[in-house]
Structure 1
């Protein structure tokens, strides 16, 4: 090699090392290597990514910056990453200087194939328009009533029979899978009025649900690897990019058919007919959205309402099963709320604010600031209804030998699911009291369910769907049906 060439190589190497030294000395996170940045650490901890990030945050006081790809130019276009859990920083980003922190081209590029210009993948006027429309719809009582109807049907006609059958046979169930199916059915019904019936008997496979799962998993890979890597794989049709393209194509075909059908239904409806109360129909009636935009609206709300609630419930049931004292307290509170309601089947029962509200910048599950989750109340309504219905009827425990581990995904899935086993706790012994007309049930929540004969129940009968369904599961004479008093001891 000629001296001139050597001089160029040495000069380039020296310039790079000088740049790398200046860039890396200000980084406080995991070790950054020349060229490959912190990518070796990411790959090394692919199986325990969350614990690794938490460890880095603890060592750095809650905020650190790293460089995933240490190449001049590339680093500034997405290689430099700031990670923080400091509530003050979160408030700065999410509220105080909200306009300074848009989703940006990197985020939009990662999600563009799946979510397009939907509300979770847009900025500026596009986001503002969708946010205003969605905010108006999410504040209506009609939408809460629709969610309550979908949830109640899914719980009582699908989830509870499956759990009861498993309890009777002593079989294990993957509760995470059941919850994912339940919330998927619910959110599809709420988003575009179509029930995919993934929680039907036999737990059938659904091509739309499978494609949606594959698309979200493939999208996650774009976050892990530098933009130039996944764009190259997309151009060459390699790896998960092929899966993403195939899955998104199937999702597009499915939703296109739904939108076409719904447009025909809305066009053919007379003024006196009952309007559709799903989100898609509500956006269609605005008359300002193209088919592609409507498709992105539906997909964005499915992503927001499906995995989030079901995964949160999975971890909830795991924690409850490992803390029986907490389970007893929750059941007592459920019974107290239902007793105080005097049988009123009102969704607002599950929307009461906590006595000590949490700092939204410390607990950011629902985001905060202008982008705070519009469906927060609907999520609480769904999760509390599901949790209450199951806890009142079943005592679940993690199956022996089952490992509960976190999975690297867009939401915090359990890697191996949540295999649980348990029995129905509502098959209680009926005992006579001193008065022949009174009956008490002894169960895991203690004595106190007072049952009266049908002939004198009259105005005292409780109409709560939860308690009435509870009584139907108890093995006793059919004439004793009314809950008129409840005291948990």
Structure 2
């Protein structure tokens, strides 16, 4: 018995030690950081560059959040709304553009709102937010949109008269560029009319610079090519020079006109954003150029590409054309023999607000074809996302609107179908989705300031064009694919045949 007690005590001590070690091991394992599964490398992204967004979307169907490996880092791609809300809102301060985005984008967009964080971002955001909220800009931009929509419709009418197909994306890009230049700079660019050769060069250079900038995201040698000024980086430098020179010339011209007016901004010019900035003593040409280019890429490429996909969807689903036309006619009270100008002028703010199904059709287009298909933020310090997986400092966390719009887990079994009705409630009213599920306009503090501005522009153009014409694809057999850029444009353009709904389109 005397020996049994020490043995029992020793056995108990050993058992306690093992139990303690087991608990410590379990706790250490539970605290061990887990990282998202790796589903590819930069090589796979390069191989799939022409279908990059579909490549990412395919991977997202298997894992809502995953990693793609780069030589010295990992990129996290997420289509999980909880993760999206976390990086865009809940832990906003820990996720931003960071040095990587800044380095990739600055040659084209400089120190504009899309490339900076911190105080620079807050300053531009505050100024821009004020401008976009003014009634003056709303009224001024509305008039610009209606005039340019009517001008574009007359160009389509000319194509009809010549029995030619209309390359509608190119027309929309030019019209959007004219609109954004008038709204932002107060300049009549007339890229639609083709009277401004410099403006045409700017448009081509800006599109190409955007494409080359996008390529940097998967080109691990871009810094070396930039230093040596070879290949894609040499071309990017040439295109950016064209872009910068054009915008600087516009700013100089504006400043000269102001100086000729004894330093005052005339009443005629007060509607545009540049004039408003100048009134607030923002006169640094570099600062203004960077802001302007941010507005241009936001106001030109996004709305024009979204409208291009919208008209593609209208051609694929002609019954929706007729439903939208009926709605527009009811809201605007258009007569059967109305001219294009009469249609445009009849589109009031009240009428736009009543166009619920058109709003739904545009939103459904943006769900499937978001103007910005991917958007990434840099993680500034080690973190853990809501899904339980960790993210290291310096990782890029990219949310993917293109993939999110196609996920059955978010939108149901018909996720890949174009069905505007999903946005309409039982009362026939447009029903907004969570901004962390429908991410076409970002969300949280960085939500797009021009969201309502963009919807107004798209609705005006869609209403005018669809009321004046019915559209169909020029070649039903030709595949329509996107061009991998910062924005989601249709590669090779969108060639449509238009049929007038009015009795005499040539007279419009």
TM-score normalised over the length of structure 1? 0.75
Question: Within 2, Cα distance between the matches of 1:295 and 1:273?
Answer: 21
Pair 1:95–1:351, CA change in 2 (3 A):
farther
Shift of 1:324: 1.7
For the 8 Å contact 1:220–1:409, the answer to whether it is kept is: yes
1:40 maps to 2:43: yes
Structure 1 residue matching 2:67: 3-state secondary structure: strand
**CA–CA distance in 2 between the matches of 1:339 and 1:422?**
23
Q: Which residue of 2 aligns with 1:323?
A: 317
- The residue aligned with 2:14 is none
Aligned to 2:179: 186
Mapped to 2, the partners of 1:298 and 1:102 lie a distance apart of 21
Shift of 1:56: 0.3
1:335 matched to 2:318: no
Secondary structure of the structure 1 residue equivalent to 2:472: strand
| Contact map agreement 2:184 2:295 (CA 8 A) in 1 | yes
> Following TM superposition, by how much is the alpha carbon of 1:142 offset from its aligned partner in structure 2, in angstroms?
1.1
Q: Secondary structure of the residue that 1:53 maps to in structure 2?
A: helix
What are the superposed Cα offsets for residues 428-447 of structure 1, whole Å, 9 maximum, x if unpaired?
8xxxxxxxxxxxxxxxxxxx
For these two proteins, the number of residue pairs brought into alignment is: 392
1:297 aligns with 2:291: yes
**Alignment-derived partner of residue 407 in structure 1:** 483
Identify the residue that residue 390 of structure 1 maps to in structure 2: 465
Would you say the 8 A contact 1:27–1:66 is kept in 2? no
User: Structure 2 length normalisation: TM-score?
Assistant: 0.72
The answer for unaligned runs of 5 or more in structure 1 is 1-24, 32-37, 429-469, 474-489
In 2, are the aligned partners of 1:145 and 1:347 still within 8 Å (CA)? no
Structure of higher RCO (CA pairs closer than 8 Å, 6+ residues apart) = 2
> Aligned residue for 1:463?
none
Q: Following the alignment from structure 2 to structure 1, what is the Cα–Cα distance between the partners of residues 265 and 289? A: 28
Structure 1 residue aligned with 2:448, among 373, 376, 401?
373
Q: CA deviation at 1:422?
A: 2.3
2-structure distance, mates of 1:329, 1:366 = 26
Q: Which residue of 1 aligns with 2:251?
A: 259
| 1:402–1:419 CA contact under 8 A, matched in 2 | no
Give the deviation of 1:244 after TM superposition: 1.4
Any idea what the Cα deviations from partners look like across 1:272-315, whole Å, max 9, x if unmatched?
A: 94151211111111114522101111111001110100110011
**Superposition RMSD on alpha carbons, in Å?**
2.6
1:30 counterpart SS class: strand
- SS of the equivalent of 2:431 reads coil
SS at match of 1:206: helix
Distance 1:272 1:250, change over 3 A: closer
Q: Please give the alpha-carbon distance, in whole angstroms, between the structure 2 residues aligned to 1:187 and 1:366.
A: 18
Cα distance in 2, alignment partners of residues 187 and 288 from structure 1: 19
2:289 is equivalent to residue 287 of structure 1: no
Q: CA deviation at 1:344?
A: 5.8
**Aligned equivalent of 2:348, options 339, 346, 350:** 346
| Residue 46 (structure 1) shift | 2.0
Contact preservation (8 Å) 2:177, 2:296: yes
